[in-house]
Structure 1
Amino acid sequence: MELLPQPILDQLAANGRANQTRIEAGEDTIDFAPVVKLFTPDGGATWLLSETDPENPDIAFGLCDLGLGYPELGSVRLSVLKAHRGRLGLPIERDLHFKANAPLSTYAERAREAGGIVT
């Protein structure tokens, strides 16, 4: 299974371009729903990604939880996620059944309260 197929990359890029346009216009950014959920099958890490940087599509923005009880909004390199192997040597996987039902900020608020991402 491909971690990030082209339709997902396209949506992440479109969201990033939309927010870049809003920033350049002096407007507030859009609180997009996560486009994709990634996780470590042999660990507790989870990422909910909503957009990529238009100037560097290897950098994605989203809610990152390394399984240590401190989820945070931030950026991550897609190339690092694609190359990562967990304790048992397993790669990061995409949750094929994930369907976002709220904007990223709502997931972040829930994660802070729970000490980890709740989907």
Structure 2
Amino acid sequence: MILLTPELRAVLRANAIATHAAQAEGRREPDPFPVVKLFNPCGAATWLATELDDDDRTLFGLADLGFGSPELGYFDLAEIEAVRLPGGLGIERDLYFTARFPLSAYAEAARIAGRITEAEALLSTVARARQLRTPRNPEIPRNPHG
């Protein structure tokens, strides 16, 4: 299976470009929705990717190798593509995955659940809580005294 189509690569690259631009300009980094979900059909490993670096192989997102401690970070597409599983299987792309929340919500829900989850109630609660913590106007700093 081709894990990243040209269309997916384009969206992942655009997200990476937006993040790098925000960093260079000192702005708040975007919180994009995951673009692709990769998974091990024989195990618990799951990856939600939001960005693809210009080397065309380094992805950024949420990685869960099934040990109860999912984390945000970078992972190598070539390594994921090289995985060989029983029966000649490899890592697959969830063709039906559509992100409904930004990556930060998936990361917080995964921290709570101990794994990447698509539990609607948990993700909705986390997303709402994150909105309450985000200032409506990012130009106005939060008051450090309450």
Structure 1 length-normalised TM: 0.94
Letter in 1 for 2:26: G
Larger proportion of strand: 1
Alignment-derived partner of residue 26 in structure 1: 26
Aligned-partner Cα distance in 2 for 1:74–1:37: 15
C-alpha RMSD of matched pairs (Å): 1.1
The within-5 A match list for 1:71-82 is: 71-82=70-81
Post-superposition CA distance 1:12-41 (Å, at most 9, x none): 001001111111111111010100000000
Structure number with bigger Rg: 2
Alignment-derived partner of residue 106 in structure 1: 105
Secondary structure class of the residue paired with 2:37: strand
Secondary structure class of the residue paired with 2:44: coil
Which consecutive residues of structure 1, in runs of 5 or more, have no partner in the other structure? none
Larger proportion of helix: 2
Offset, 1:86:
2.8
Letter in 2 for 1:7: E
Secondary structure class of the residue paired with 1:57: coil
Alignment check: 8 A CA contact 1:15 1:51 kept: yes
Which 4+ runs in 1 deviate beyond 2 A? 86-89
Which of 1 and 2 has higher RCO (CA within 8 Å, sep 6+)? 1
Structure 2 length-normalised TM: 0.77
Work out the number of aligned pairs and report it: 118
* C-alpha spacing 1:33/1:2, structure 2 compared with 1 (3 Å): same
Aligned-partner Cα distance in 2 for 1:116–1:87: 23
Which consecutive residues of structure 2, in runs of 5 or more, have no partner in the other structure? 119-146
Secondary structure class of the residue paired with 2:32: coil
Post-superposition CA distance 1:52-76 (Å, at most 9, x none): 123x221110000001100000100
Aligned identity (percent) is 48
The within-5 A match list for 1:21-100 is: 21-54=21-54, 56-100=55-99
